[in-house]
Amino acid sequence: MSGLPPLLLIGGGRMGGAMLAGWRERGLSEAIVIDPSPAAASLAGPGVTVLPSTHEIPEGFSPEAVILAVKPQSAAEAVPPCARFSDAVFISIMAGKTIAALSSWLGSAAIIRAMPNTPAAVRQGITVAVSSPGITAAQHSLADSLLAATGHIAWVANEALLDPVTAISGGGPAYLFLLTELMEQAALDYGIAPDLARLMARQTIIGSAALLAASDEDAAALRIAVTSPKGTTERALAVLRAPDAWPASFAAAIEAATKRSQELSD
Q: For residue range 170-193, what is the model confidence (pLDDT) as tens digits?
A: 999 999 999 999 999 999 999 999
- Give 63-79 pLDDT, tens digit per residue: 999 999 999 999 999 99
| CA–CA–CA angle 131, 134, 135 (5° rounding) | 50
The answer to whether 138 and 109 are in contact (CB under 8 A) is: no
CA dihedral for 50, 58, 4, 115, sign (positive or negative): positive
Position 3 scores a pLDDT of 78
- Please give the model's pTM, rounded to 2 decimal places: 0.91
Position 1 scores a pLDDT of 41
Domains of the chain: 7-163 (3.40.50.720), 172-263 (1.10.3730.10)
List C-alpha distances in Å: 256 to 6, 163, 171, 178. Answer: 38, 11, 12, 17
In this predicted structure, the answer to whether residue 2 has a pLDDT above a threshold of 70 is no
pLDDT band at 266 (very low <50, low <70, confident <90, very high): low
Average pLDDT, the chain: 95
The answer to whether 4 and 29 are in contact (CB under 8 A) is: yes
Position 70 scores a pLDDT of 95
Above pLDDT 70, what percent of the chain? 99
- Give 233-249 pLDDT, tens digit per residue: 999 999 999 989 999 99
Residues with Cβ within 8 Å of residue 199, at least 6 apart in sequence: none
Position 80 scores a pLDDT of 95
- Give 107-162 pLDDT, tens digit per residue: 999 999 999 999 999 999 999 999 999 899 999 999 999 999 999 999 999 999 99
As beta bridge partners, residue 48 has 31, 45
- Give 116-130 pLDDT, tens digit per residue: 999 999 999 999 999
> What mean pLDDT is predicted for residues 82-109?
94
Position 265 scores a pLDDT of 79
CA dihedral for 195, 198, 201, 205, sign (positive or negative): negative
In this predicted structure, the answer to whether residue 207 has a pLDDT above a threshold of 90 is yes
